[in-house]
Structure 1
Amino acid sequence: MSASLRVYLCLLASLALGWLVLQLRTTGAGWPEPDLLLAGAIALYVGSHGVRMLRLGLLTLDQRDKALALVCAHALTAFPSALIPFKIGEILRLAAFRHVFGQWGKALAVWLAERFGDVLVLAACILALYLLDVRLPESMRWVFLLFVLTSVFGLLGLFAVATTFVYLNRHLVLASHSTRGLRLLRASHAVRHLELNIQRSVEGRMSGLLLLSILTWALEIAAFALFAHRFADNAPDAGAMFASGLLASLPGGAAGAGAFGMIQTFALAALTLAFLAALLLALRLRIERP
């Protein structure tokens, strides 16, 4: 284990413990009384991250020796990522993936495959609710349009750029000797390498990726449903429940989802400390092994 990684793990343990202590001291009186529904909501949310780890393992089957390290990278970056607003913490996760694979190409490919699975599943869920004539907030229409545009233009853009670069590379190799041409050639090779990494990550596993993405979001929305049922005077309908659960997980959160966000962060802090304890135990056993 490198010195920089040791420093990060120490800072992470201090941050998780400090956050838990601070929250219990400042808002301890406002925390809900523990009961089965609240415990179930926390368990479902932790379970959704367990499914996310399975999905990461699925996307890394072409490099099986990196699967466990990638799962640990997710577990040890989920908590600090949750504290950073507007999903900027995804940069930290991406950097952790890069540390595991030793290159940006594969790390970015796995991250993009994750995001594509999420966007595709959520867009399909929102479309199904519209087709079933379930009432949804106006904000969900814009979320749906954003997801559809991201999926369509992302796929078309990737394949269009990859196809164009095949012919562009031939021209650059045969005709261009300028500095600008060589830079463009290097960029086209990087994009082509990213495309190949994405194909290797999802080849023969697309159905598994989509099923795990469906299960991930089903668990997250079910966790929010239990939480809302625990504290709401009148149980909201299915459309409002889905919309609130989804918006609570999008950049910026959603109005009224702050308490659930606190529960999410608490669950991630506990998950982080559990993984740190397991990592410390594994290192101790390795040292003591003759």
Structure 2
Amino acid sequence: MKMELIWMVPLFLIGFAVVHLTKLMRLYLILLEQKLNFKHFVLTYLKTTFVNLLIPFKLGELFRVYCFAKETKEFQVGLFSVLVDRFFDTAALLIILIPFELFLSGNVTFVTAALTVFSALAIFMFAMFPGIYTYLNRYLIQQKTSHRSMLVLRGLEITKVWYDYVRNLIIGRYALVILLSCVAWLAEIGVLFCLSGICGTSFGIGAFSDYIAAIFMSGSSRLLKIYSIAGISIIGMAMIVVWIWCHSSKSLQGGRKQ
């Protein structure tokens, strides 16, 4: 690394902190009603992020579902909080990525197109569900009395409970969640720019598109490998610090009680 680029190291560290503080705030906002202990929440976030960086292709999100389901003692909370977090993260990425790919590179990558289709389908299904539920519920109650129709009705009611839960997760806060998601991605682009400078490689829309594609198993990215190694190191150290903080607080509280 050239000496004139040494200033990028503190910028990278600050940017990395901003990225994960913003993502942490977004997930905490989604889980606000659960009234989780903030210290334990931070430790769980760091632990699951560490695993996410360690395991490729976002498979670490399954571990995050498990951890927050265990933390809240409700599988539904763990599953849907992570799904909502992922959806808004993807939506913010597309808000930034699509204009850049269209106007700078002139083409949309397969991963961007696939994520766009998936997000559009998710929004369409979520918007259409109340009408579909009302129609099917009325039809099954009035016209069908078989065991199979009762099972379908039961499944429909379970889906309605899930729909209501997700709706309550996002109602009144979706604008702030999408804003935090956009800030996180813009900060991450800045972090990747700094990392490219530190490594002596160029960074542009093509490199960023390759980075995103590699996350979703499409192609490879040297930048992603370096970012993952750096992220594992930083998050690992932060996790140890927060773990000590949490357990020292417990020790102090125990000493005061005695």
TM-score interval, normalised by the smaller of the two chains? 0.7 to 0.9
Match of 1:243 in 2: 209
**Which residue identity does 1:58 align to in structure 2?**
L
Written as runs of structure 1 = structure 2, the 5 A alignment for 1:51-66 is 51-61=22-32, 63=33, 65-66=35-36
Corresponding residue of 2:104: 134
Taking the TM superposition and a 5 Å limit, the aligned residue runs for 1:1-290 are 35-61=6-32, 63=33, 65-66=35-36, 68=38, 69-131=40-102, 133-135=103-105, 141-173=109-141, 178-232=146-200, 235-236=202-203, 238-247=204-213, 249-251=215-217, 254-257=220-223, 258-290=225-257
AA in 1 matched with 2:97: I
C-alpha distance in 2 between matches for 1:174 and 1:101:
39
**TM superposition score normalised by structure 2:** 0.84
**Deviation at residue 55 of structure 1 after TM alignment:** 0.5
User: 1:36, CA displacement in angstroms?
Assistant: 4.1
Contact 1:77 1:93 in 2 (8 A): yes
The verdict on how the C-alpha distance between 1:75 and 1:253 changes in structure 2, with shifts beyond 3 A counting, is farther
Structure 2 distance, partners of 1:114, 1:83, is 20
Distance in 1, Cα, partners of 2:12 & 2:211: 12
Paired with 1:279 and 1:252, the residues of 2 have a C-alpha distance of 39
Please say which of residues 176-185 and 220-229 is displaced more in the overlay: 176-185
CA contact (8 A) 2:43 2:243 kept: no
TM-score normalised over the length of structure 1: 0.76
Q: Provide closer, same or farther for how the CA distance between residues 148 and 134 of structure 1 changes in structure 2, counting only shifts above 3 A.
A: same
1:43 counterpart SS class: helix
Cα shift readout 1:211-259 (whole Å, capped 9, x = no counterpart): 10011111222111101011225x43x4235335534644577322222
- Partner Cα separation in structure 2 for residue 191 and residue 246 of structure 1: 32
Give RMSD over aligned pairs: 2.6
Q: Distance in 1 between matches of 2:214 and 2:90?
A: 15
Superposed CA deviations along residues 60-109 of structure 1, whole A, max 9, x for unmatched, are 23x15126254432222211222222211110001112122222333333
* Cα distance between partner residues in 2 of 1:123 and 1:111: 18
User: Is the 8 Å Cα contact of residues 116 and 151 (structure 1) preserved in structure 2?
Assistant: yes
> Relative to 1, partners in 2 of residues 1:67 and 1:248: Cα closer, same or farther, differing over 3 Å?
farther
Give the distance between the partners of 1:83 and 1:171, measured in 2 at CA.
49
Residue deviations 1:114-162, cap 9 Å, x none? 112111111121222145x2127x6x52122112101110111233344
| Whole-angstrom distance in 1 between the partners of 2:115 and 2:42 | 26
Q: Describe the shift of the 1:75–1:48 C-alpha distance in structure 2 as closer, same or farther (beyond 3 A).
A: same
SS of 1:76's partner is helix
Judging changes above 3 Å, is the alpha-carbon distance between structure 1 residues 184 and 171 closer, same or farther for their aligned structure 2 residues? Answer: same
Q: 1:177 to 1:208 in 2, by over 3 A?
A: same
Aligned-pair identity in percent equals 19
1:163 and 1:70 mapped to 2: Cα distance? 37
Q: How many residues align?
A: 251
